[in-house]
Structure 1
Amino acid sequence: MKYFAPLILFTAGWLLLLLSNSFTSISLINGSLQLLLFVLVVCLPIWRTGRMSYVDIGWPSGLVIIGVLTWLYSSGDPVRVALVSMVYILVGSRMALGALNMWRMGLLKKEFPRYEYQKIRWKTAGKTNTALAMQIDAIYQGLANASFLAVPALLIATNPSGSISALEVIGMLIWAGAYAVESVADMQKLGFLKTMKKAGQKNMVCNVGLWKFSRHPNYFAEWMVWNGLIIAAIPSWLALYDQESLVVWVLLGASLLMASRMMYTTLVYFTGAVPAEYYSVQKRPGYRAYQETTNIFFPGPSRTVADK
């Protein structure tokens, strides 16, 4: 049971959408395509190679599927449908194309450190069957795309109102700002690495630009991308009050909160900040000092050791 427990919550989230009055058909199609995608692009390569890194292709490609299906099958206001569909397609394509480029360059032939850290976590939890744990981990990430991560798109795209609320404007502005920040952080990191390579310096700590204020500004911005979508989805969720049973309506609202919580724990603890730092401390001599002066996730001013 300890292997399959992670599937329960995400399966329940998918069943909630299937049992709703508004999302049954599109959720059935989305869930089926997500599972097919993950079996072919993630689960089979994992089985053949013993490496989890293929998740980096499958998960964002699943976001593209959500965007395309939302565009094709949603019956809400056309402007909302087009906007939220393009958001999912843009976010997913950016990450999927990056992962495919790494695959083309042969970088997926070596397991990414964050997935090596997963194996350490599983061993600590008594999960000695690593092959099974990898497959379960891949499947539940596919189910995440079929459930909680699809909820903001489905809610927004089902709203028929022609008027835009203040919360929708605020949410999309947060999304746009966070997407820009994430892109800038990635470019700053890439620029830093190129500069260090030219200078012949290895294993240096990137503490320039946005990286002065957070040790993982890209992960924080990715979380805020989802929070922006969630905020933008609130008016559409409220509009469903008369169309769903009270229980389903409340659970759909809880699913929005779950999407934020899930992305936070993933970006900080599971495949984000904590796994990255486990290896950075071992690899980069100056990283412990960086940890002492810079926040791990939420941006803030640099501090001295005496401030602690």
Structure 2
Amino acid sequence: MKYFLPLASFFAGWILLLMTNSLFATSLVNGALQMLLFALVVCLPIWRTGRMSYVDIGWPWGVAVIGVLTWVTGEGDPVRVALVSMAYIFVGSRMGLGALQLWKMGVLKKELPRYEYQKRRWLKAGKTNTALAMQVDAILQGMANASFLALPAFLIATNPSDSVSALEVIGLLVWVGAFAMESVADLQKLAFLKAMKRSGQKNRVCDVGLWKYTRHPNYFAEWMVWNGLIIAAIPSWLALQNQESTVIWGLLGVGLLMASRMMYATLVYNTGAVPAEYYSVQKRPDYKAYQEKTNIFFPGPRK
């Protein structure tokens, strides 16, 4: 039972979407497509290789699938449907193409550190059947795409209004700003690594640019990308109040909050900052000092 318990909230989120009048058909198709994608691209390779790293291919392409499905099935305002669809397709395909490049380079022939850390975590929790735990975790990622992560797109695509809400503008600005921040952080890290290689140095701590103010500006920015989508979805959720029962409508609002909470937990604890730092402390002598003076996630002044 302890192996399957983490699936409960995501499965409940998908069932919630299937109980709605407005999102049932799209959510049913999305759930089927996510499970098919993950079965072929993630679960089967995990079973054959014993490596979790294939999640990095399946999850972002699952996000792109949400975008394509939203564009095809969305019955709301065409401009609104196109914008949210393109946002999902862009985010998913960008990360998905990067993952495919890593696979082509042979990087995924070795388990990525964050998934090695996950296996350590399972053993500590008494989950000794690693093969089963990997399959459950892979399915969990697919169910996240089938439930909470799809919710902002599906809600926005139901809104027929041709007027633009202030929250939609704020959400769009947050999305653009967060994506720009993530791109800048990645470029700063790449430039730092290149400079370190040219100077013949190894295992230095990247503390330049945005990395001065948070140890993981890319993870923080990715979280804010999703928060931008969630903010933009609030007016569309409010517009559904008369089309759904009070209970279902209220739970959809909770689902939006769950999407933000889930991404935060993933980017900080599950496969993000905490696993990365477990290995950084071992590899980089100055990392402990960096931890003491720089916030782990939220940007802020140095201590």
After superposition, residues 1-308 of structure 1 pair within 5 angstroms as 1-303=1-303
User: What is the rounded CA distance, in whole Å, between the counterparts of 1:142 and 1:230 in structure 2?
Assistant: 19
Measure how far apart 1:75 and its partner are. Answer: 0.1
Residue of structure 2 in register with 1:306 after alignment: none
User: What is the rounded CA distance, in whole Å, between the counterparts of 1:97 and 1:248 in structure 2?
Assistant: 37
TM-score norm. by structure 2 comes to 0.99
Which amino acid is 2:165 matched to? S
Unaligned segments of structure 2, at least 5 residues: none
Using the aligned pairs only, state the percent identity: 77
User: What is the rounded CA distance, in whole Å, between the counterparts of 2:176 and 2:22 in structure 1?
Assistant: 28
Q: Deviations over 1:85-134 (max 9, x none)?
A: 00000000110001000000000011111000100110111000000000
User: What is the rounded CA distance, in whole Å, between the counterparts of 1:160 and 1:219 in structure 2?
Assistant: 33
User: What is the rounded CA distance, in whole Å, between the counterparts of 1:208 and 1:54 in structure 2?
Assistant: 31
Q: Deviations over 1:209-228 (max 9, x none)?
A: 10000000000000000111
User: What is the rounded CA distance, in whole Å, between the counterparts of 2:156 and 2:187 in structure 1?
Assistant: 31
User: What is the rounded CA distance, in whole Å, between the counterparts of 2:31 and 2:182 in structure 1?
Assistant: 28
User: What is the rounded CA distance, in whole Å, between the counterparts of 1:257 and 1:234 in structure 2?
Assistant: 10
User: What is the rounded CA distance, in whole Å, between the counterparts of 2:20 and 2:80 in structure 1?
Assistant: 21
Which amino acid is 1:103 matched to? W
User: What is the rounded CA distance, in whole Å, between the counterparts of 2:51 and 2:174 in structure 1?
Assistant: 35
User: What is the rounded CA distance, in whole Å, between the counterparts of 1:37 and 1:236 in structure 2?
Assistant: 28
Measure how far apart 1:174 and its partner are. Answer: 0.3
User: What is the rounded CA distance, in whole Å, between the counterparts of 2:183 and 2:248 in structure 1?
Assistant: 36
Measure how far apart 1:199 and its partner are. Answer: 1.2
TM-score norm. by structure 1 comes to 0.98
User: What is the rounded CA distance, in whole Å, between the counterparts of 2:31 and 2:193 in structure 1?
Assistant: 39
User: What is the rounded CA distance, in whole Å, between the counterparts of 2:268 and 2:255 in structure 1?
Assistant: 20
Which amino acid is 1:116 matched to? E
User: What is the rounded CA distance, in whole Å, between the counterparts of 1:51 and 1:201 in structure 2?
Assistant: 31
User: What is the rounded CA distance, in whole Å, between the counterparts of 2:205 and 2:279 in structure 1?
Assistant: 12
Unaligned segments of structure 1, at least 5 residues: 304-308
User: What is the rounded CA distance, in whole Å, between the counterparts of 2:110 and 2:190 in structure 1?
Assistant: 20
Measure how far apart 1:302 and its partner are. Answer: 1.4
Which amino acid is 2:218 matched to? N
Q: What is the RMSD of the two structures over their aligned residues, measured on CA atoms?
A: 0.5
Measure how far apart 1:200 and its partner are. Answer: 1.1
What stretches of structure 1 move > 3 A for 4+ residues in a row?
none
User: What is the rounded CA distance, in whole Å, between the counterparts of 2:196 and 2:289 in structure 1?
Assistant: 19
Q: Deviations over 1:117-158 (max 9, x none)?
A: 100110111000000000000001000000000000001111
Which amino acid is 2:261 matched to? R
User: What is the rounded CA distance, in whole Å, between the counterparts of 1:199 and 1:157 in structure 2?
Assistant: 51
